[in-house]
Amino acid sequence: MKGPSIRLVTRRQFLGMGLVAGSAAAAGGAALVNLLSGTASRASAVPSAAIALGSATPGPASTPPPLSTWLTAPRIRPVRDLAARRLVVIDMAGGNDGLSMVPPIDDARYRQLRPRTALDPASVLAITPGVGLHPGLPGLYAAGAAIVQGVGITKPDLSHFEMLRRWWSGDVDSVHQTLTGFLGRLADHVGDPTAAAAGVSLGYGPSPALISERVVTLSMDPYGDGSFPAPAGLDAATAWTAAWREMAEYDPSEPVPFCSARNGAAYAYRFSQLAGGLPAAATGYPETELGAQLLLAARMLAQDNGIRIVHVPFHGDFDSHEDHLARHAALMTELDDALAAFRADLAARGIADRVLIATTSEFGRRVPDNASNGLDHGAASFAFLAGPVAAGLYGTYPSLATLDADKDLVATVSMLDYYATIAESWFGVPAADVLAGHPSPIAGII
């Protein structure tokens, strides 16, 4: 079907200005405990707080929990070709409680501060004598992951929306107020501007994390197929497509809302061509939204179609001000089940060495629990990188003895260093090109 060619406008024309460079106070170097290699880190003088806590305060268990198979599990080696590498970010908006995802097993303070919401130490999947994984994560436990402990921001805010903005934009102190998202800037560096999309968010509505300047990023309904519906009948369908393409033609003389509407249509049309050519779906995924999202992510990443980054908004009930234990446990199970199917899918497609999985969440939760068996907004939390990584505990376990003024965990790893690991260690993009504040990747993960 012939029609006028659609002219696309770059996002730069709307944004007007780019990433504001500048210096921001970055947290100091992250301590590293690489359980696999035992290699030194740039903060190797710092003892592992996790292990120290575990040995200093013996728990009630009479026999120490077994050490993780992570010590011996074979790792997936990352593909050498940087251009073949892809990223999936699972965004756990709402505030994922790090202390429940990566609980301290033997720290008596954990149970003192959380009489209603502490996990039973006997149920925790032990990584070391002092630190384990939530019992709902057996798949992740078996496969291994690089757990980043105490990730957060030096001067945190307790608002969801302010902290989401900082995590999405990669703006640690809210000074730079960048218009682009961290993942968008990353896509600008690793993506092809002529591709139908370099970054895709599998959610409803646009994702601020993916706002880019140079490449196309867009959102897609995780249950949709991206196809472009037209009315029945060949003449009507032909007329429809031609008219649709004409209306999608960008006209810079028009006001911004018109340009946005026309561009949205143009990008949608082009992306529908890509979506129509995706490989078939795999079976074996749980019937959850996260399962549907990761199923689609695997299809998108299995071919060379230009998509380098897939953002997965995990629409989970993480904001557990009430009934934390049961609600959080359901989320961990949902995560683990979907990830297990995703790992199997990637392996079957032969791309397990190409896909790095990363998690984000705007904050962890208050350390002491409240009367409703819940946890209010907190600060530092835990994240993990999975796939072709060296499994282990990275950074220092945040102290339960020294909390901040709001009784929240103090960050031991900067969000910027976590992001720098993804940019530099995985994609080979110098951290300084996409992040302010001179962050450094966490050594040894990739």
Binding site for another protein (CB under 8 A): 93-94, 158-162, 203-206, 218-221, 223-224, 226-231, 233, 235-236, 238-240, 242-244, 246-247, 249, 251, 254-258, 260-265, 267-268, 271-272, 315, 317, 319, 321-322, 368-374, 376-377, 406
- Kindly state the smallest distance separating residue 201's Cβ from another protein, in Å: 9
In terms of CB distance, is 75 or 240 closer to another protein?
240
- Kindly state the smallest distance separating residue 6's Cβ from another protein, in Å: 12
In terms of CB distance, is 229 or 350 closer to another protein?
229
The residue written with tokens 């892809």 in the block is 86
In terms of CB distance, is 110 or 384 closer to another protein?
110
String of DSSP letters for 24-73 = -PPP-PPPEE-TTT----TTTTS--HHHHHHHHS--S-SSPPPPPGGGTP
- Kindly state the smallest distance separating residue 212's Cβ from another protein, in Å: 13
- Kindly state the smallest distance separating residue 205's Cβ from another protein, in Å: 5
User: How many CA atoms lie less than 13 Å away from 280 in the CB half-sphere?
Assistant: 3
**Closest by alpha carbon to 330, among 112, 137, 109?**
137
- Kindly state the smallest distance separating residue 233's Cβ from another protein, in Å: 6
Q: Crossing angle, helix 256-275 and helix 234-247, to 10 degrees?
A: 130
Alpha-carbon gap, residue 214 to 292, rounded angstroms: 29
Q: CA separation (Å) from 440 to 138, 191, 414? A: 31, 22, 10
In terms of CB distance, is 92 or 446 closer to another protein?
92
- Say how many C-beta atoms besides its own lie within 10 A of residue 251's C-beta: 10
Evaluate the CA torsion angle 414, 416, 417, 421 in order and state its sign: positive
In terms of CB distance, is 89 or 131 closer to another protein?
89
- Say how many C-beta atoms besides its own lie within 10 A of residue 130's C-beta: 26
Q: For Cα atoms 415, 417, 423, give the angle at the middle one, nearest 5 degrees.
A: 105
- Kindly state the smallest distance separating residue 368's Cβ from another protein, in Å: 8
In terms of CB distance, is 173 or 319 closer to another protein?
319
In terms of CB distance, is 26 or 164 closer to another protein?
164
- Kindly state the smallest distance separating residue 90's Cβ from another protein, in Å: 17
Pair of tokens at residue 145: 């992951």
Q: CA separation (Å) from 76 to 73, 80, 357, 437? A: 10, 12, 13, 31
